[in-house]
Amino acid sequence: MKEQELIIYREAESGGLLGDMAWLMEHWREEDAGWGADGGREKKRSLLYGCMHRLLEMAGHHGFYGNLWHCYLANLLVNNENSYSMACEMRGEVQGTINHAVLHDMAIFKEWYDYDFRGMMDCLDVWEFELVLDYDGCERESKVYNRRICQRICGLAERFRQDRSPEEMKATLTEFYREYGVGKFGLHKAFRIAHGEQGADIVPILNMAHVHLDDLVGYEIPKKKLIENTEAFVEGRKANNCLLFGDAGTGKSSSMKAIANTYYNKGLRMIELYKHQFRDLNDVIAQIKNRNYKFIIYMDDLSFEEFETEYKYLKAVIEGGLEKKPENVLIYATSNRRHLIKETFADKEGRRDQLHAGDTVQEKLSLAFRFGVTIFFGAPDKRQFQEIVSALAERNGIGMPKEELLAEANRWELSHGGLSGRTAQQFIDYLLGLEKQE
C-alpha cells in the first residue's frame, strides 16, 4: 500500500487512520477485497464511517475546519520530526540527495491530497463523507492547539490545495519549516516539564497570555537591558544568563511572557522549570541542544532557604560542570531576592562555629554570580503608580474622570498589596468588572 512506500515520512502516523484511508482508496472498487463477496462492501462501508468518526474527533480535539482530510495530512507533515524537517527548521531548504527522497514522498501525499472521493462515496453509499470535506468548526479553543496554531495548519492545508505538483507542495512545506519549524517546538512558544516513565517530557503550554513589552508601563531601562540580551541571543551573538529581581508585582514574570511572544518568530522557545525539577535539567538540555531553535529555560520566583541545597545542583548545570552548556540554551530566572539564597546577619558577621565564615558567604552568592545580566525591577512610587493606572485605564477604554480614577486607585492600593504594577492591573480589572455588571 502507498503508506508503506514512504521513505522519509514513513513514521508519519501511528493511529491507523492513514493506513485505513489509503487502503480504502486502493480497494473500494474490489468486490470482496479478501473479506468474502457477501461481507466485503459492508465492511468497507463500516471502515469508511470509522474514518469519518476519527476525522471529526480530530477536528474537535485540534480545532480544525474546512477539508478535514487535507487538514489531517497537513498536520502529519508539520509534526513529523525527521532528518529533513529538522534540518530545514528555522533555516529553510537544504542540499543533498535527501531532497529526492522527500520529493518521492510528496508525490504520494499529493496523490492522497488530490483524491476524488465521489466514486467511493457513490459505490459504498456513504455520501455523509461530504461532511468531513467541508467542515464548519466551532470557535472554542481546542484541547491540542490554540487558535493561532489551528489557523496556521488549516492555512497550510489550503496552500497545499493550490499547489499543482509534488515539487510545489515540497516547496510550500519547506517554507513552512523555515518560517515556523517542525513538531511541538515549531508550533508552540512555551513549554513545561512533566516527569513520566521515560524521564523528563517537554510538554507544550497551549494557552499563553498575549503579553507584550509595550503592555508593561514604565521600566524602560530594565526592558532595554532585557531586550538587548535576548536579541543578542536569538541573533547568534554572545549573551548571558539573566536574573530579573526586585519587588513583587513589578512585571518580572510578565516581561518573560512578553519575551516569549515577541521573539517566537525569530526561533525563540521558552521552557518553564520549577525548583523541584532541577534534576531533570540535564535531560531537558539533551533533548534541545541539537535543535535549530534558541531555548530559554525559565525559572519563576527562584529562591532558596538555608536548608535547601538544590541550588548546588543548579550551579553546576548553569556553569561549572565539565560539559559545556549548549550555545542555543540560556537560563532566565525571576526572584524577589537579589542573591537568591536566604542570607542572615550571622553570615555577614562570621559565626564562631565556622572556621571560614567568608567561604559560607561566597557559597551563597555564587549562584547569583552565574547570571551575567541582573536586572532590577523596583516598586513604583506614588507618581509612577498613578501613571500606570492612567495608562491602563486609557488602554482599556475606562472613561472615569482622572481625579476620581486616581482617588479610587489610591484607596484600592492601601488594602490590596501596595504600590505595584500588579495592584494597578487588579484595580483596572475591578473597574472593568463593574462596567459589565452595569
Q: Please tell me the predicted confidence (pLDDT) of residue 437.
A: 54
Sign, Cα dihedral of 185, 188, 189, 190: negative
Query: Which of the given ranges, 17-31, 152-166, 311-325, has the highest pLDDT on average?
Result: 152-166
Same domain (yes/no): 169, 81: yes
Same domain (yes/no): 244, 314: yes
Q: Is the per-residue pLDDT at 106 higher than 70? A: yes
Same domain (yes/no): 254, 350: yes
Which of residues 359, 377, 395 is at a domain's end? 377
Lowest mean pLDDT among 136-140, 247-251, 296-300, 320-324: 320-324
Q: Please tell me the predicted confidence (pLDDT) of residue 37.
A: 52
How far apart, in whole angstroms, are the C-alpha atoms of residue 282 and residue 300? 19
Is 177 in contact with 88 (CB distance < 8 Å)?
yes
Q: Please tell me the predicted confidence (pLDDT) of residue 360.
A: 47
- B/e letters for 353-380, b = 16+ CB within 10 Å, e = fewer, are eeeebeebeeebebbbebbebbbbbebb
User: Count of domains in the chain?
Assistant: 3
pTM comes to: 0.84
**Higher pLDDT residue, 319 or 251?**
251
Is 41 in contact with 130 (CB distance < 8 Å)?
no
Instruction: Read off the pLDDT band of 216 (50, 70, 90).
Output: confident
How far apart, in whole angstroms, are the C-alpha atoms of residue 364 and residue 377? 22
Same domain (yes/no): 302, 362: yes
Same domain (yes/no): 208, 339: yes
Q: Please tell me the predicted confidence (pLDDT) of residue 357.
A: 46
Same domain (yes/no): 263, 285: yes
Query: Cα 275 vs. chain centroid, distance in angstroms?
Result: 20
Is 51 in contact with 21 (CB distance < 8 Å)?
yes
Which of residues 337, 360, 377 is at a domain's end? 377
How far apart, in whole angstroms, are the C-alpha atoms of residue 375 and residue 384? 19
Helix (H) or strand (E) holding 335: strand 329-335
pLDDT (tens digit, 9 = 90+) per residue, 30-58? Answer: 765 454 555 588 899 999 999 999 999 99
Same domain (yes/no): 179, 313: no
Same domain (yes/no): 204, 183: no
Same domain (yes/no): 152, 237: no
Same domain (yes/no): 30, 131: yes
Question: Considering all CA atoms of the chain, what is the largest pairwise distance in Å, rounded to the nearest integer?
Answer: 94
Same domain (yes/no): 373, 398: no
Instruction: Read off the pLDDT band of 344 (50, 70, 90).
Output: low
Segments forming the whole domain that contains residue 309: 190-377
Q: Is the per-residue pLDDT at 146 higher than 90? A: no
Which of residues 353, 377, 401 is at a domain's end? 377
- Compute the average pLDDT of residues 90-105: 94
Same domain (yes/no): 59, 183: yes
Q: Please tell me the predicted confidence (pLDDT) of residue 213.
A: 86
CATH number of the domain residue 367 falls in: 3.40.50.300
Mean pLDDT (the chain, rounded) = 85
Q: Please tell me the predicted confidence (pLDDT) of residue 359.
A: 45
- B/e letters for 119-131, b = 16+ CB within 10 Å, e = fewer, are ebbeebebeebee
Q: Please tell me the predicted confidence (pLDDT) of residue 366.
A: 66
